[in-house]
Amino acid sequence: AVAEAEDSIDYTIAAVGLIPGLGDVVGKLLKEAKAALKVGDTKKAIELAQEAQDKVKALDVGTFRELKAKAKVGDGLEHDHIPSFAALKKAEETRLGRPLTPTETKKLYAEATAVEVPRDVHQAGPTYGGKNTAEQIMKDAENLYEAVKRDTDALRKNMIEKGYDPKLIEDAINKIKTRNKEKGIY
C-alpha cells in the first residue's frame, strides 16, 4: 500500500509539473505527502495528498461557487465567468422583461460557469474590468454563444502563451461549453 501511495503521489507531482502556475500550495502539499511516506506516516501522506486534490487548480471548471469554495488565498488564481456575468445578467433580465432581484442576481452569479485562471490571464481577457463596456455587454447578452466563443478563444491564446498544455486547455474549454449548453445558456 505504501508503494502504491508513493507511486500515486509521484504521478501527481509529475502531472502538476506539466501545468505551469498550478499553484505552489498544491505542489507543497504533495511534496509534504511524499516526505510523510518516506518516514512511514501513511495516514498523514494520504491526508496531505487528499488536501492537495481538493484545492482549486488552474483550468478547473465549475460554478463560481464551487471554485470559490476550493480556493486558496494567495495562490495567484482567479475565477473567470465565461460568458461574463454582466452579459448573463443582462440576457436573463431581457428574457424575464424585468430587472433581477438581489437574490436572483446573487444566485446567477454563484451558479454561473467559471474557469480558474492565473490573475494576469483573467486581466488579459476581453471582458475584464473596464473592457466590458455597456455596448459589449448588450452585444454579448444578445448572443451568449458568440460571447463564449470569443472568451474561450482568448482563454486558449492567453493560456498557451503562459506555457499551459494545449490538451488541458482544450479539455477546460470543452467543459465550459458543455456546462453552458447544459445550463441552457445557448
Per-residue pLDDT tens over the stretch 80-108: 999 999 999 999 999 999 999 999 999 99
Both 77 and 9 in one domain: the answer is no
* pLDDT by position in tens, the chain (length 186): 555 555 555 555 555 444 455 455 556 656 765 665 676 667 766 766 666 566 678 999 999 999 999 888 888 999 999 999 999 999 999 999 999 999 999 999 999 999 999 999 999 999 998 999 999 999 999 999 999 999 999 999 999 999 999 999 999 999 999 999 999 999
**What pLDDT score does 18 carry?**
44
Domains contained in the chain, number:
2
**What pLDDT score does 184 carry?**
95
Contacts of 49 (CB under 8 A, 6+ apart): 5, 8, 9, 12, 29, 30, 33
Both 16 and 85 in one domain: the answer is no
Both 137 and 87 in one domain: the answer is yes
The candidate with the shortest Cα–Cα distance to 112, out of 92, 94, 88, 141, is 88
Choosing from 11, 28, 54, the residue where a domain stops is 54
Choosing from 54, 71, 88, the residue where a domain stops is 54
- pLDDT tens per residue, range 31-40: 765 665 676 6
Both 45 and 118 in one domain: the answer is no
- What pTM, to 2 d.p., does this model score? 0.74
| Domain, as residue range, for 17 | 2-54
Run of H or E including 55: none
Average pLDDT, the chain: 85
- Grid cell, residue 95, equals 428574457
d(CA 152, CA 155): 5
